[in-house]
Amino acid sequence: MTISIGNDHAGTEYKFEIIKHLENKGYIVLNFGTDTNDSMDYPDAIHPTAEAVEMGKAELGFIICGSGNGAQMTANKHQGIRAALCWNNELVALTRQHNNANILAIPARFVSLQQAIGFVDIFLTTKFEGGRHQNRVSKISCAG
């Protein structure tokens, strides 16, 4: 499976550790984020991360910034993207089970690295339940 990942300067450390974690598990990772701690504009990294998922070049994505809010808002501008901002294990599992989220926004300034890596594993292994949730997910997009 191919994973898309993007970050701003607040998420660089987390990104490197998440990439290492994913590659150790055999995932292919497309890195669209900054590799430095120099200030940068998060949309410059988040748009290509979301586009990779939107265009089918990656199955899922992870986006990391300080609060996760700006990254999530940016990713959700793309049709077919359901990016979820999560800060605990239960939210991560529910956004996959009920919302079929395809990008997880991680708030690096509010969760530990260990928590973030746990979120990644939950996001990758939790399946969409479908059923009653499919009708709701089908109504999310504004596309004609």
Would 6 be classed as within a structural domain? yes
Q: What CATH number does residue 117 fall under? A: 3.40.1400.10
Q: Where are the beta strands (DSSP E) in the chain?
A: 2-7, 28-31, 60-65, 83-85, 103-107
The answer to the question of whether 67 is labelled as a binding residue is yes
How many C-beta atoms lie closer than 10 Å to residue 28's C-beta? 12
Would 143 be classed as within a structural domain? no
Would 78 be classed as within a structural domain? yes
Kindly report, residue by residue over 88-131, the tens digit of the pLDDT. 999 999 999 999 999 999 999 999 999 999 999 999 999 999 88
Q: What is the pLDDT of residue 142?
A: 81
Would 144 be classed as within a structural domain? no
The answer to the question of whether 9 is labelled as a binding residue is yes
Q: What is the pLDDT of residue 55?
A: 97
- Of the chain, the percentage scoring pLDDT greater than 90 comes to 92
User: Is the confidence at residue 144, as pLDDT, over 60?
Assistant: no
Q: What is the pLDDT of residue 139?
A: 87
Would 132 be classed as within a structural domain? yes
Kindly report, residue by residue over 59-78, the tens digit of the pLDDT. 999 999 999 999 999 999 99
Would 77 be classed as within a structural domain? yes
- Which residues are catalytically annotated? 65, 98
Indicate the number of domains in the chain: 1
The answer to the question of whether 135 is labelled as a binding residue is no
Question: Which range of residues forms the domain containing residue 9?
Answer: 2-138
Residue identified by tokens 């989220």 is: 101
**Dist. CA 44–CA 69, nearest whole Å:** 15
Q: Mean pLDDT in the chain?
A: 96
Please report which helix (H) or strand (E) contains residue 91, including its range.
helix 89-97
The answer to the question of whether 78 is labelled as a binding residue is no
pTM equals 0.96
User: Is the confidence at residue 28, as pLDDT, over 80?
Assistant: yes
The two tokens of residue 142 are: 């504004």
